[in-house]
Amino acid sequence: MNEPFGRVIAAMVTPFAADGSVNYQVAEKLAAHLVDNGNDGLVICGTTGESPTLSWQEEYELFQVVQKAVGNKAKIIAGTGSNSTSEAISATQKAAKLGLDGSLQVVPYYNKPPQSGLYAHFSAIAKACSDLPIMLYNVPSRTSRNLEAETVAKLAEIDNIIAIKEASGDLEQVCQIRSLTPSSFAIYSGEDVLTLPMLTVGGVGVVSVASHLVGKQMQEMITAYNQGNNQIAQAMQIKLLPLFKALFATTNPITVKKALNLQGWNVGGLRSPLGELQLNLVEDLKKVLKELDLL
């Protein structure tokens, strides 16, 4: 299977200072740490990076800071999607000039376009940014619109649309995408808990939240599966399941930011309208982290 962005890609959080501004210094250190601990790539300014509350200028600065921190050691994927086609094109063109490795393009949210509109949206972005590899991002729980397998297959015919982050939670749809697209088109799980199940139906890796904490373990699980050591992969999946569940006990990235702060990373709080993790969930998180020797 083709792995254009590697196997484990962290959907990196955006650190904030006490005054709510982006903490670029911590972002630089965190990016380097993630790459040194199992991540082949980083998605910058995706949902986990709180992209809805970042300005385009903050995002552009983050791309440059992370690129400088990581260099050629990992793939850098810019979250430049939008529910406005023209805005997505503009942001993606600007990011492309930095020489990044790819762009994550989310399904337009709130607008609820039909499949023909989704095709027109993504194909326009791809055409306007033809030198930049594009990863589609399907997450119906957030966008209210599913990018159907047939539409994905049609988009996969465009040269620079080379992958999808599939977070519909629908394994049947993943099977359909795999059957309708060439092996060169990469399918990444958008949900940590479904990484291993998706590998069994043609996935190549994961765009991960948990890899902030267990990047090396995620790599080991995928490697074990690819080498035919299914029992080892299954055991790792079961071992990590409590962490996967804890990280999504409430809206992402509330919990993973708390986990990183507990580890001493000082990634700060969250921008409104997101808020702090409830105290009972903090205690549940601490328990899981301690059981996995992550605290």
Q: How many CA atoms lie within 13 A of 3 on its CB side?
A: 19
Per residue in 171-200, pLDDT tens? 999 999 999 999 999 999 999 999 999 999
What letters, b where the CB count within 10 A reaches 16 and e where it falls short, cover 113-141? beeeebbebbbebbebbeebbbbbbbbbe
Q: Are strands 75-79 and 205-208 parallel, antiparallel or unpaired?
A: unpaired
Per residue in 256-289, pLDDT tens? 999 999 999 999 999 999 999 999 999 999 999 9
DSSP 181-213: S-TTSEEEESSGGGHHHHHTTT--EEEESTHHH
Alpha carbon distance, N-terminus to C-terminus of the chain? 35
pLDDT for 111 beyond 90: yes
Q: pLDDT at position 263, please?
A: 98
What secondary structure letter does DSSP report for 38?
T
| CA 262, chain centre distance (Å) | 22
**Number of alpha helices (DSSP H) and beta strands (DSSP E) in the chain:** 12, 8
pLDDT for 1 beyond 80: no
pLDDT for 99 beyond 90: yes
Average pLDDT, the chain: 97
Active site residue 225: no
The Cα-based distances of 92 to 38, 63, 83, 87, 175 in angstroms read: 27, 11, 13, 8, 30
Token pair for 218: 């995620």
Distance CA 240, CA 36 (A): 20
Distance CA 14, CA 27 (A): 7
Q: pLDDT at position 154, please?
A: 98
Distance CA 264, CA 72 (A): 27
Residue 41 pLDDT grade (very low, low, confident, very high; cuts 50, 70, 90): very high
The Cα-based distances of 59 to 43, 65, 79, 159, 261 in angstroms read: 12, 10, 8, 26, 22
CA angle 205, 206, 212 (to 5 degrees): 130
Name the catalytic one among 75, 154, 165, 258: 165
Q: pLDDT at position 2, please?
A: 87
Per residue in 42-80, pLDDT tens? 999 999 999 999 999 999 999 999 999 999 999 999 999
Tell me which residue of 262, 260, 292, 290 sits closest to 48, measured CA to CA. Answer: 260
Q: pLDDT at position 137, please?
A: 98
Name the catalytic one among 24, 119, 137, 188: 137
